[in-house]
């Protein structure tokens, strides 16, 4: 048993003082999630992203809990600027102030990250499956395995590469489709030409993601989305002193 020394007490007191402004700041973000922004058009986030911030998979509302702060702020800025188009989220992002964006990004980032159990040893992906794309890629089309950028088990890397684990299949599919757009169909004798629909998500840094989405087949999109959605969330914490294997 150790008793706090006066110095220790002072240190603790100082750390509480330091925490106060942080706490107030985080609380702003929490209020925003629950009650919405100052502008009434900034609806409470929890209505769609869930009380726990884990999203609503079936409705295609993404998880925000534990996403990197800079990534969340960047997405809101991208919705505002129209680099990412979405009829639901754009008006909401446009009615948030810069301060509100910073606060809510910080608050969601502070929520627990998705916790994925590593794949069982000896598990081998089958060619053509979603797991194959996730763990092996399609290098003949210059598509690296998704986990090379999105992290082992899709847990995300740093602040530019968001987790895919923890997101629902509908949402993942919708994003891949948004980066693809559709190709133009030339006119035939019987049908009129159909114009190309440009991608509605054009915000990936250096085009790292767009060409991947564009080169996947419809079946591959469904399969890889189902794979990441199926990783689920584990109640057991991952032992961070262990390696995550490729």
Q: Which residues bind another protein (CB under 8 A)?
A: 124, 126-127, 136-137, 139, 142-144, 148-149, 151-152, 155-158, 160, 205-208, 211-212, 238, 240-246
Q: If binding is defined by CB under 6 A, does position 114 make contact with ligand HEC?
A: no
Run of H or E including 69: helix 69-81
Close Cβ partners of 27 (under 8 Å, ≥ 6 residues apart): none
Closest approach, Cβ 240 to another protein, in A, equals: 4
Of 153, 177, 203, 210, the one binding ligand HEC by CB under 6 A: 203
Query: What is the footprint of ligand HEC within residues 69-98 (CB under 6 A)?
Result: 72, 74-76, 84, 86, 88-89, 92, 96
Rounded Cα gap, residues 6 and 147, in angstroms: 50
Residue with tokens 């925490």: 19
Rounded Cα gap, residues 66 and 57, in angstroms: 16
Encode 67-99: b = buried (16+ Cβ within 10 Å), e = exposed. Answer: bbbebbbbbbbbbbeeebbeeebbebbebbeee
Q: Which is nearer to another protein, 10 or 245 (CB)?
A: 245
From another protein, ligand HEC, none, interface partner of 152 (C-beta below 5 to 8 A by class)? another protein
Map residues 32-71 to x or -, x wherever contact with ligand HEC holds by CB under 6 A. x----x----xx-x-xxx----------xxx-x--x----
From another protein, ligand HEC, none, interface partner of 49 (C-beta below 5 to 8 A by class)? ligand HEC
Q: Which is nearer to ligand HEC, 119 or 146 (CB)?
A: 146
Q: Which is nearer to ligand HEC, 54 or 84 (CB)?
A: 84
Rounded to a whole number of angstroms, the CA Rg of the chain reads: 21
β-partners of residue 197 are 182
Q: What are phi and psi of 173, to 5 degrees?
A: -60, -45
Q: If binding is defined by CB under 6 A, does position 226 make contact with ligand HEC?
A: no
The encoded tokens of residue 195 equal 């114009």
Rounded Cα gap, residues 228 and 133, in angstroms: 11
Is 51 exposed, middle or buried (CB count within 10 Å of its CB: 0-12, 13-18, 19+)? exposed
Q: Which is nearer to ligand HEC, 14 or 41 (CB)?
A: 41
Closest approach, Cβ 12 to ligand HEC, in A, equals: 33
What value, to the nearest 5°, has the Cα angle with vertex 21 and ends 15 and 25?
A: 130
Q: What share of the chain is helix, strand, coil (3-state, %, to 5)?
A: 50, 5, 45
Rounded Cα gap, residues 70 and 93, in angstroms: 15
From another protein, ligand HEC, none, interface partner of 48 (C-beta below 5 to 8 A by class)? ligand HEC
What residue ranges bind ligand HEC (CB under 6 A)?
32, 37, 42-43, 45, 47-49, 60-62, 64, 67, 72, 74-76, 84, 86, 88-89, 92, 96, 104, 133, 143-144, 146, 148-150, 160-162, 164, 167, 172, 174-176, 203-205, 208-209, 212, 224
């Amino acid at each position: 048993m150790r008793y706090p020394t006066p110095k220790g007490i002072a240190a603790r007191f100082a750390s509480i003082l330091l925490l106060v402004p942080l706490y107030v700041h985080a609380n702003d973000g929490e209020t925003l999630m629950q009650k919405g922004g100052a502008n009434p058009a900034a609806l409470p986030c929890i209505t769609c992203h869930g009380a726990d911030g884990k999203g609503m998979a079936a409705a295609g509302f993404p998880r925000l809990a534990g996403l990197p702060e800079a990534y969340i702020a960047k997405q809101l800025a991208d919705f505002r600027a129209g680099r990412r188009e979405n009829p639901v989220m754009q008006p909401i992002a446009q009615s948030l102030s810069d301060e509100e964006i910073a606060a809510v990004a910080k608050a969601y980032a502070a929520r627990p990250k998705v916790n994925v159990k590593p794949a069982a040893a000896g598990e081998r992906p089958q060619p053509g499956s979603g797991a194959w794309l996730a763990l092996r890629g399609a290098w003949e089309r210059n598509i690296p395995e998704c986990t090379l950028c999105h992290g082992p088990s899709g847990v995300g890397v740093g602040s530019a590469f968001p987790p895919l684990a923890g997101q629902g299949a509908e949402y993942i599919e919708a994003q891949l489709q948004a980066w693809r757009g559709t190709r133009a169909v030339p006119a035939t004798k019987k049908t009129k030409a159909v114009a190309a629909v440009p991608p509605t998500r054009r915000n990936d840094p250096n085009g790292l993601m767009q060409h991947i989405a564009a080169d996947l087949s419809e079946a591959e999109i469904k399969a890889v989305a189902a794979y990441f959605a199926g990783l689920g969330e584990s109640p057991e914490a991952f032992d961070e002193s262990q390696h995550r294997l490729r």
